[in-house]
Amino acid sequence: MQVIIAENGGFCSGVKSAVDLALSVPAENTFVLGELIHNRDVVSLISERGIRTVSSPEEVPEGATLIIRSHGAGKAVFDVCARRGIRVLDCTCPFVKNTQRIVSRAGAEGKTVVVAGHRDHPEVVGLLGWCGAECFVFSSEEDDFSILREKNVVLVAQTTFSQEKFLKICEILKKECQKTVEIFPTICYTTVRRQKEAAEIARLCDAVVVIGGLNSSNTNKLGEIASRHCGRVIRIADAGAFEYEKIKNLKRVGLILGASTPGWQAQEVLFKMEENNAEVQATTMQDVVDEMGKEERYKKGQIITAKIVSASDEGIYVSASGKLEIMVAKDELDCEAYSKEAYSAKVGEEIELMVTALGPVKLSQKMVKKMKEEEAMLADIEAGAEFTVTCTGTNKGGLTAELGTYPVFVPAKEIRSGYVKDLEKYVGKKLRLKLIEIRKERRKEIIASQRVILEAEKAEREAIKAAKEEEFFNSIQVGDVVEGKVERVTSFGAFVSVNGFDCLAHISDLSWTGVKAVTDVLEIGKKYEFKVLKIDREGKKVSIGYKQLQPQPWDLVRDKYKAGDVVHGKVVRIVPFGAFVELEKGIDGLVHVSQISHEWLENPTSALSIGQEIDAKILAFNPDEKRITLSIKAIEPRPETAEVRTEGERPVRAKKARRSNAQNGEEEEYREWNEGGLGGASIAEMLHLDEENK
Rounded Cα distance, 348 and 308, in Å: 5
Of 28, 58, 109, 123, which one is the catalytic site residue? Answer: 123
Give CA separation, 194 vs 7, 476, 690, in Å.
9, 86, 124
Cα distance between the two ends of the chain: 132
Peptide bond into 360 cis (omega under 30): yes
Q: Largest alpha-carbon pair distance within the chain?
A: 143
| Type of residue at 315 | G
| Contact of 29 with 65, CB cutoff 8 Å | yes
Rounded Cα distance, 133 and 106, in Å: 8
123 included as an active-site residue: yes
Return phi, psi of residue 644, to 5°: -85, 130
* Packed helices 13-24 and 40-48: angle between N→C axes, nearest 10 degrees: 20
Partners of 210 in the β-ladder: 235, 256
Give CA separation, 449 vs 171, 258, 394, 399, 427, in Å.
37, 53, 15, 10, 16
Q: List alpha helices for 489-646, DSSP H.
A: 553-556
* DSSP character string of 177-199: -SS-EEE---S-HHHHHHHHHHH
Of residues 450, 368, 365, 358, the one with CA closest to residue 401: 450
| Contact of 255 with 4, CB cutoff 8 Å | yes
Of residues 371, 104, 344, 329, the one with CA closest to residue 230: 329
Of residues 623, 621, 622, 625, the one with CA closest to residue 566: 621
Of residues 238, 236, 314, 248, the one with CA closest to residue 275: 248
Give CA separation, 72 vs 19, 94, 214, in Å.
14, 10, 20
Burial 465-501 (b: 16+ CB within 10 A, else e): eeeeeeebeeebeeeeebebebeebeeebbbbebeeb
Rounded Cα distance, 201 and 223, in Å: 11
Return phi, psi of residue 374, to 5°: -65, -35
Residues with catalytic annotation? 123
